[in-house]
Amino acid sequence: MATTPVVDIHTHIYPTTYLTLLRSRTKVPYLLDLPDKMAPPRLIILPSDDDPALPAHQRGRPIDSSYSSINQKLDFMKTHGITTSVISLANPWLDFLSPEEGPQWAAKVNNELEDICSTSQNSLYAFATLPLSASSSRITGEIHRLQSLAHMRGIILGTTGLSQGLDDPALEPVWSALESAKLLIFLHPHYGLPSSVYGPRASEYGHVLPLSLGFPMETTIAFTRMWLSGVFDRHPKLKVLIAHAGGTVPFLSGRINSCVQHERHFPENEGGGRGPKRGLKEVLRENVWLDAVVYSPTGVRAAVEVVGKDRVLFGTDHPFFPPLDEGKEEWMSVETNIQAVKDAFGEDKQGATKVLGGNAIELLGLDVA
Ligand code: 5CU
């Protein structure tokens, strides 16, 4: 019986090269091995994780083999009926390296991802990582090199860009290189919001506030700055996939646009509107794709409404959000996202099939035979 392909475009990995890099460091981000060799190492990923008052086994988060093992990724895919995955390095990528260190580590990580994909019989493709702390010529050099790696379909990008955010004019050569290489930008959060917004009781709620609210707001702000600064006017062919169903972009796009149209700071443009020449609605329909990692049919419907049903793509966020019940093979987080897509489309089975796989195959030119 022919099965319809399911493609996971939001699935991360910390490849061996990256773990080696983190193990060699003592400043955030770094990997802390515990005296108990049976216990997984701890990833100290945020400054707030690096609390010397806490015992080592309570700092940061445990990083077990599911974060780096390709066999476990393939088993996870089999369990959930996923035909093809587009893997990407997990946060915080290479943002923290010195300008001299960045390019060699980017090349090592990207080569390892390519090697992994090339031995996977087309079940794996990848989004590469860029050495963003390096000079723009080194960054664009890596973008050009990626075109010779057969399984690369885009790049994953954090919200800070070269350190000043995605409205930074210094990013122009990078946008140009990505646009002409036709590489998709997978825009993904890491830094969240300042911890003060979560209040003095934040630690009582674990990671709930930063992950459910900080991440989506971070992504929304980053993308809005990109649009406001005219990136899509200057680079009309740039393609951006925004993580977590666009953060809050689908819900807030009307308000963002209204604020622009009422902002005296912006002179009227040729079309009679204010702000960037290419309006938010147009950019969302022509330059943007959204993943469906949103855990509710309401979220999927909102995504579909603003970008169109051909531009929403299924993802899992593996290996994040595993079941808390350790023996369980099926992940609630994945089942919720699959069900959300099916419920959002109801009788439109073809629409759901496209979001679950067809859209990604078409956008990224994946060979899923
Ligand atoms: O929700 C997510 O995407 C993530 C992620 O990518 N990285 C992380 O550290 N936590 C959650």
Give the per-residue pLDDT at 326.
Answer: 79
C-alpha span between 220 and 250 (Å, rounded): 9
Does residue 1 surpass a pLDDT of 60? no
Ligand 1: residue of 317, 331, 336, 337 to mutate (most ligand atoms within 8 A of CB) is: 317
Among 202, 187, 277, 162, CA closest to 240 = 187
Mean pLDDT of 231-256: 98
**Is omega for the bond preceding 29 within 30 degrees of 0, making it cis?**
yes
Residues of the chain above pLDDT 90, percent: 90
Does residue 268 surpass a pLDDT of 50? yes
Residues of the chain above pLDDT 70, percent: 99
Does residue 270 surpass a pLDDT of 90? no
Give the per-residue pLDDT at 327.
Answer: 80
14-24 pLDDT per residue, tens: 999 999 999 99
Does residue 298 surpass a pLDDT of 50? yes
Does residue 3 surpass a pLDDT of 80? no
Give the per-residue pLDDT at 2.
Answer: 53
Does residue 106 surpass a pLDDT of 70? yes
Q: Give residue 224's identity as a one-letter amino acid code.
A: T
Question: How high does pLDDT run on average in the chain?
Answer: 96
213 lines ligand 1 (CB under 6 A): no
345 lines ligand 1 (CB under 6 A): no
90 lines ligand 1 (CB under 6 A): yes
Q: What are the Cα distances from residue 85, in Å, to 213, 317, 363?
A: 26, 11, 14
Does residue 296 surpass a pLDDT of 90? yes
326-348 pLDDT per residue, tens: 788 999 999 999 999 999 999 99
C-alpha span between 158 and 328 (Å, rounded): 32
Q: How far is the CA of 320 from the centre of ligand 1 (A)?
A: 6
C-alpha span between 87 and 128 (Å, rounded): 9
Residue with CA at minimum distance from ligand 1 atom 11: 320
Mean pLDDT of 255-273: 92
Q: How far is the CA of 318 from the centre of ligand 1 (A)?
A: 9
201-226 pLDDT per residue, tens: 998 998 899 999 999 999 999 999 99
Confidence bin at 52 (pLDDT 50/70/90): confident
Mean pLDDT of 241-259: 98
97 lines ligand 1 (CB under 6 A): no
139-182 pLDDT per residue, tens: 999 999 999 999 999 999 999 999 999 999 999 999 999 999 99
Would you state the structure tokens that stand for residue 19, as one six-digit string? 């773990």
Ligand 1: residue of 9, 211, 290 to mutate (most ligand atoms within 8 A of CB) is: 211
